């Protein structure tokens, strides 16, 4: 049967590309139109693991996904960095002057804004997914409509690329996390990165004290993201990523942070995807 991997989007999307690169074995793709749908597939057992975008080197964090992972008790078991290449594509036989409208995910529009400024005759329309737009153009024979999507979408849906690599910043990467309902899969000796979530009180320097503990335990802070706690106005939770060379150092930090912070939780222990 193979693993069932849930993604946000459909075949031809960047999430699909991550599945191809991250998983060695033959897998069955579970296509979901939203991240909420992806989480539901994990919780009801219709998918074994999920792939979720969590941050982009240009646009920053996809903040709602942090809350989705924590609120649903999911665990991060891996990560993958994907260089993003955006291409303008349409039905074969058309030229860029024939295009009156481009449809794609809002993140792709943001990342290609400078190119689109040079094409004032093209109206920008937000859509749910890059590859889904490409598929709709092909299946409905939509002339005058273009998609911004990965190269694999043009190949899958028989579209012609009218302009290549139209992203404003060429060194554009997105970090994806691999999630499931159970925690770590690797032996401790292979784990060198972790994602944590905790809260601090309103005392002056409380966050700095927690961060100092991480530093004293030889943890390298690679990411910190704050989210408001909806039930408690003006109080925040912190999502933190740390890397380390020795798991024992991380274990020591965990024992201290459980005492020094509130509602401390390890969301994932896994292998650093950038090594």
Beta-sheet pairing, 101-104 with 145-149: parallel
Distance CA 114, CA 79 (A): 30
Closest CA to 72 of 267, 274, 272: 267
Whole-angstrom distance, CA of residue 203 vs CA of residue 217 = 23
CB 250 within 8 A of CB 217: yes
Q: Are residues 196 and 251 in the same domain?
A: yes
* CB contact burial 74-100 (16+ within 10 A = b; e otherwise): bbbbbbbebebbbbbbbbeebeeeebe
pLDDT of amino acid 1: 67
**In a shared domain, residues 78 and 101:** no
For residue 170, what pLDDT is reported? 87
Q: Which tokens is 249 given?
A: 């150092």
Same domain, 73 and 105: no
pLDDT value at residue 183: 80
Give the span between the Cα atoms of 211 and 201, in whole angstroms: 14
CATH number, position 13? 3.40.190.10
In terms of domains, do 117 and 226 share one? no
Residue 149 pairs in a beta bridge with 87
**Calpha distance 35→39 (Å, rounded):** 6
Burial class (CB in 10 A: 0-12, 13-18, 19+), 1: exposed
Q: Which domain holds residue 101?
A: 87-163
230: phi then psi, degrees, rounded to nearest 5: -60, -40
Residue 199 maps to a domain: yes
Closest of 140, 138, 106, 98 to residue 122, by C-alpha: 98
* 218: in domain: yes
Q: Is 48 found in the same domain as 176?
A: yes
What are the Cα distances from residue 10, in Å, to 33, 130, 148, 258?
8, 9, 14, 40
Same domain, 197 and 131: no
Q: Please check whether residues 77 and 176 belong to one and the same domain.
A: yes
Say if residues 50 and 243 touch (Cβ distance below 8 Å): no
Cα atoms in the 13 Å half-sphere on the side-chain side of 231: 2
Say if residue 22 is in the same domain as residue 125: no
Rounded to the nearest 10°, the torsion over CA 108, 114, 115, 117 is 110
Summarize pLDDT for 249-267 with one digit per residue, the tens.
Answer: 999 999 999 999 999 999 9
Q: Maximum distance among all alpha carbons in the chain?
A: 65
Residue 25 lies in a domain: yes
Q: Considering the domain boundaries, does residue 131 fall inside one?
A: yes
Q: Which residue has the tokens 């991550």?
A: 18
Q: Which residues of the chain have pLDDT under 70?
A: 1, 275
| 114 shares a domain with 221 | no
* Domain-terminating residue out of 154, 180, 206: 180
pLDDT of residue 172: 87
- Count of structural domains within the chain: 3
Query: Quick one: 113 and 46 in the same domain?
Result: no
Q: In whole angstroms, how far apart are CA 57 and each of 9, 132, 173, 175?
A: 20, 23, 6, 8
Taking a C-beta distance cutoff of 8 angstroms, is the pair 147, 130 a contact? yes
Residue 25's pLDDT is what?
74
């Amino acid at each position: 049967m193979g693993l069932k991997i849930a993604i946000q989007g459909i075949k031809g999307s960047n999430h699909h590309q991550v599945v191809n690169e991250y998983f060695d074995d033959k897998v069955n793709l579970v296509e979901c139109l939203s991240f909420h749908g992806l989480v539901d597939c994990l919780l009801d057992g219709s998918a074994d693991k999920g792939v979720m975008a969590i941050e982009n080197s240009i646009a920053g964090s996809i903040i709602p996904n942090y809350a989705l992972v924590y609120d649903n008790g999911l665990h991060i078991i891996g990560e993958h960095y994907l260089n993003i290449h955006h291409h303008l594509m349409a039905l074969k036989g058309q030229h860029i002057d024939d295009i009156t409208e481009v449809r794609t995910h809002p993140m792709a529009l943001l990342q290609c804004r400078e190119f689109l400024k040079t094409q004032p005759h093209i109206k920008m329309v937000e859509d749910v997914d890059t590859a889904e737009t490409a598929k709709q153009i092909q299946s409905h024979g939509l002339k005058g409509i273009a998609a911004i999507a990965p190269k694999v979408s043009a190949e899958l849906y028989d579209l012609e690329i009218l302009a290549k690599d139209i992203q404003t910043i060429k060194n554009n990467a997105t970090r994806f996390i691999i999630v499931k309902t159970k925690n770590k899969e690797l032996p401790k000796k292979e784990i060198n990165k972790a994602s944590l979530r905790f809260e601090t009180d309103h005392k002056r320097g409380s966050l700095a004290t927690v961060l100092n503990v991480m530093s004293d335990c030889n943890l390298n802070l690679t990411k910190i993201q704050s989210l408001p706690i909806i039930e408690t106005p003006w109080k925040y939770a912190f999502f933190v990523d740390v890397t380390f060379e020795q798991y024992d150092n991380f274990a020591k930090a965990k024992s201290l942070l459980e005492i020094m912070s509130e509602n401390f939780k390890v969301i994932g222990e896994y292998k650093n995807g950038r090594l």
